[in-house]
Amino acid sequence: MATFVQKYGGTSVGSVERINAVADRVKRWHDDGHRVVVVVSAMSGETNRLEGLGYEIAGQPDPREMDVLLSSGEQASVALLAMALMQRGCKSRSYLGTQIRLQTDANHMKARIEDIETAKLDTDLDAGIVPVVAGFQGVGPNGDITTFGRGGSDTTAVAVAAALKADECQIYTDVDGVYTADPRVVPTARRLESVTFEEMFELASLGSKVLHSRSVEFVGKYGVPLRVLSSFEDGPGTLITTEDRSMEQPIVSGVTYARDEAKLTLTAVPDVPGVASRILSPIGAASIEVDMIVQNIGGDGTTDFTFTVRRADFDRAHEILLATGQELNAGSVTGDDKIAKVSAVGVGMRSHAGVATTMFDALGHEGINIQMISTSEIKISVVVEERQLENAVRVIHTAFGLDDDAVDEEVD
């Protein structure tokens, strides 16, 4: 008898029909004698709808109230799935984050899980009951509801699996695994049999929606076996492994993108020590995350300082930078909120030279201008114009030999 934590995403519980299909699947695993805990997201579109309402009522809604609002989507779906299971003669009970004491820090809308009490879940499992846990939500130090950031139900599932020392955490979604690129953008993308957690963490952090990046952190930290599968069809999915197989891996395992980026430049900044900190400290103090940074010294001894932020933070960052520019007696502030980031990821990069050149050549041939570059041991990211994003993803995918030839022929 094995313990499984199964997570079903928004599309997988998006209608009564889909909830019934999930209940059938869960019951099969339960009837096979396994201990199953289910984690569910809100029905598809529901969290977007709630978020939209929040922003309509208040331009900058209070984060504590946003958490109360956004977490309500999962409250509905856990109850519905528990009912569907009971309807099939399978004992079940739904739980909100507060009820199983899924303890987090106090950071509303981006809380981190600190502890999970497993007593209730263990008692249920011992009694043959299927607990259905609300994804994406926990309880902060003072008892307030917290959420983990969009897509955060994956993290609930992996954290529960770690706490229960489950045999496998299964993320059921609307694709049948992790692909070499988002199959919606690259029709020739291939499903990966397995991917290392380091690569998966980079892919998720750099924009791939298929897994919430914090969920992948748990794989590294607690060694939770994690698999991504389809809730629509049976199949092996993709296993996220903790093995280091960099020597036998392809150079690039996947290509990913992030659309919601923006960049800001402060020109003619005096080239003196401490200036980078003077520019970025007020941005950080406003809780705006800075991603890429480029600084170029011009012929006149001043520097142009460019950095990227999330598009949602663009206007605020622009205002702050205007004030800093005046204080520093710098030149002008320019900005562009129509940029995107494309990244190639692979542990195989560690043992190969010239990987960046392959990527830059491919973009150059296609007439795609690179605006910024950043690299690490296992990834290369470039910023391009947003309108060229999908094309950039496809040419990089092809350049690294990732295309599925069979699909290529069908497309031809």
Q: Alpha-carbon distance 116 to 156, whole Å?
A: 10
Which element (helix H / strand E) includes 314?
helix 314-328
User: Residues with Cβ < 8 Å from 211, sequence gap 6 or more?
Assistant: 151, 154, 171, 178, 200, 203, 204, 228, 240
Nearest to 192 by CA among 349, 40, 345, 26: 345
Nearest to 66 by CA among 58, 75, 74: 58
Q: Given candidates 210, 317, 382, 392, which one binds ligand ADP under the rule CB under 6 A? A: 210
Q: Of the two residues 42 and 226, which places its CB atom closer to ligand ASP in the complex? A: 42
- Stretch of 162-170, 175-183, 301-309, 365-373 lying at the interface with ligand ADP (CB under 6 A): 175-183
Which amino acid type is present at position 289? E
Q: Alpha-carbon distance 102 to 121, whole Å?
A: 12
Footprint on residues 93-152 left by ligand ADP (CB under 6 A): 151
Q: Of the two residues 155 and 265, which places its CB atom closer to Mg ion in the complex? A: 155
Q: Is the dihedral of CA 142, 147, 148, 152 positive or negative?
A: positive
Structure tokens, 64? 């504590």
Q: How far is the CB of 26 from ligand ADP (least distance, A)?
A: 15
- Stretch of 50-58, 182-190, 292-300, 384-392 lying at the interface with ligand ADP (CB under 6 A): 182-190
The answer to the question of residue 345 lying near ligand ASP (CB under 6 A) is no
Q: Of the two residues 203 and 330, which places its CB atom closer to ligand ADP in the complex? A: 203
The answer to the question of residue 283 lying near ligand ADP (CB under 6 A) is no
Q: Of the two residues 7 and 341, which places its CB atom closer to Mg ion in the complex? A: 7
The answer to the question of residue 182 lying near ligand ADP (CB under 6 A) is yes
- Stretch of 5-13, 15-23, 58-66, 353-361 lying at the interface with ligand ADP (CB under 6 A): 5-13
Q: Are strands 333-345 and 302-310 parallel, antiparallel or unpaired?
A: unpaired
Q: Which residues of the shown chain bind ligand ASP in the complex (CB under 6 A)? A: 9-10, 41-42, 47, 73, 135-136, 150-153
Q: Which residues of the shown chain bind ligand ADP in the complex (CB under 6 A)? A: 9-12, 41, 151, 173-175, 178-179, 181-184, 208-210, 254
